Amino acid sequence: MELSVLDIVLWGVLPYVMVVVLVGGLVWRYKYDQFGWTTRSSQLYESRLLRIASPLFHFGLLAVIAGHFFGLVIPMAWTEAVGMSQEFYHFNALLVGGIAGVGTLGGIALLIYRRRTTGPVFMATTRNDKTMYVVLTAAIVFGLWTTLVSVFEGEHGHNYRETVSPWFRSLFILQPDIAAMAEAPFSFHLHTLVGMALFVIWPFTRLVHAFTAPFHYLFRPYIVYRSRDRDRNGKRRGVQTGAATRTPSTAARPGWSAVGTRDRDTRNR
C-alpha cells in the first residue's frame, strides 16, 4: 500500500510533535508555574453532585488507562502464548472497556452538567477549562465509539491489535509503522487524533494535576520540618505566599487580587 503524505504527517510526524509539546510543556510549566499547578477544585461551591461524579469519572479513567495499556502495549502474541483466545480477549476488552468507558463518560457528563448549572462553578470556569472539556469529552466519546462499533461488528470487526497497537509500539523504537496505522478504520484514526490533541493541550490546562498524583504520600513521614531559609532541596528561597509587606503599589499579583465580583463593582473602581 502506498503511503500518502497525509499518512506520514499524521502517524509518522504528529506523534513526535505531540511528545515534544507534552514533555516540553510539562517541564516548562513545572519550572515556571508551580503556583498555577493545582486541581482548582470547585468542591467548596458544590459537593453533592461532585461526590458522585468525580470519583466515577476518575476511577473510570484509571480503568480506561489500564485498558489502553493492555491493548496497546502487550502484543497479541503474548496473550495468545498464555492461551488467551482472540475471542476471549475481545469479549473482555469490550466488556471491561465498555463499562469503564460508559462510567467515565457518565462521570464527565455529570461533571459538565454540574459545571454549567451551578452558578459559582460556572463562573469559575475559564475559557481554558472549556476548551479542555471539549477535547477531553471528544476523546472519550470517540474512544467509546470504537468500542461500540466493535461490539456491533462482532467477530468480523476490526482487530486493532494488528494495526494500532503495532504502530503505537513502533513509535517508541523511533521506527513508526505508518502502514499499519493507515490501515485502521476511520473511528480509530479519529480517536487517536483527538487523543493526541488532548496530550498536546494537557500541559497548559488544569489536567496537569494528574502528573503530580501524590503517591509520595504513602511513604513520607507525617510531620514535615523545613527550614525557613531553605527549601527541601537545600536551596534558599522566598517563603510561602507572595505576601507583600512593603510596596506601595496595590497592583494584583497571583492570589492577591481584590475582593469583588467581576460583574459590577470591579468595573467601577
Partner 1 sequence: MRVMAQMGMVMNLDKCIGCHTCSVTCKQAWTNRAGTEYVWFNNVETRPGQGYPRRYEDQERWHGGWVLNKRGKLVLKAGGRVKKLLGIFASPVQPELKDYYEPWTYDYKTLVDAPLGDDFPVARPKSLITGEDTKITWSANWDDDLGGSAEHGHLDPIVEKVRRESEDKIKFAYEQTFMFYLPRICEHCLNPSCMASCPSGAIYKRVEDGIVLVDQDRCRGWRQCVTGCPYKKIYFNHKTGKAEKCTFCYPRVEVGLPTVCSETCVGRLRYLGLFLYDADAVTAAAAVTDPQELYDAQMDVLLDPNDPAVQAEARAQGIPEDWIDAARRSPVYALAKVYKVALPLHPEYRTMPMVWYVPPLSPVVDLLRDQGHDGEDAGNLFGAIDALRIPVEYLAELFTAGDTDRVTAVLRKLAAMRSFMRGISLGNDPDDSIPESVGMDSQTMYEMYRLMAIAKYEERYVIPKAHVEQAHDLEEMGCSLDFDGGPGMQDTSPFGEASGRPVPVAVETFNALRDRQTSGGLEEGSGLRGRVNLLNWDGRGAPPGLFPDKGPEPGTLAAAEDQP
Q: Decide if residue 124 touches partner 1 (CB under 8 A).
A: yes
Task: Give the position of cell 489500564.
Answer: 66
Q: Give me the half-sphere count of Cα atoms (radius 13 Å) on the Cβ side of residue 167.
A: 24
For residue 249, the SS3 value is coil
Among 2, 5, 83, 238, binds partner 1 (CB under 8 A): 238
Q: What are phi and psi of 227, to 5 degrees?
A: -70, 150
Q: Is 236 a residue that touches partner 1 (CB under 8 A)?
A: yes
Residues 67-86 binding partner 1 (CB under 8 A) are none
β-bridge mates for residue 230, sequence order: 236
Task: Give Cα 144 to chain centroid, integer Å.
Answer: 16
The torsion defined by the Cα of 202, 136, 150 and 72, in degrees rounded to 10, comes to 10
Q: How far is the CB of 112 from partner 1 (least distance, A)?
A: 16
Number of residues that bind partner 1 (CB under 8 A): 82
Q: How far is the CB of 234 from partner 1 (least distance, A)?
A: 13
Tell the smallest beta-carbon distance from residue 229 to partner 1 (Å).
5
194 Cβ partners below 8 Å, 6+ apart? 135, 138, 139, 142
**Cα atoms in the 13 Å half-sphere on the side-chain side of 263:** 3
Q: Of 3, 17, 40, 85, which one interacts with partner 1 (CB under 8 A)? A: 40
Site string for partner 1, 163-202 (x = CB under 8 A): ----------------------------------------
H-run or E-run covering 179: helix 178-183
Closer CB to partner 1, 43 or 92, in the complex = 43
**65 near partner 1 (CB under 8 A):** no
Out of 4, 38, 86, 92, the only residue in the binding site for partner 1 (CB under 8 A) is: 38
Q: Is 253 in the site for partner 1 (CB under 8 A)?
A: yes
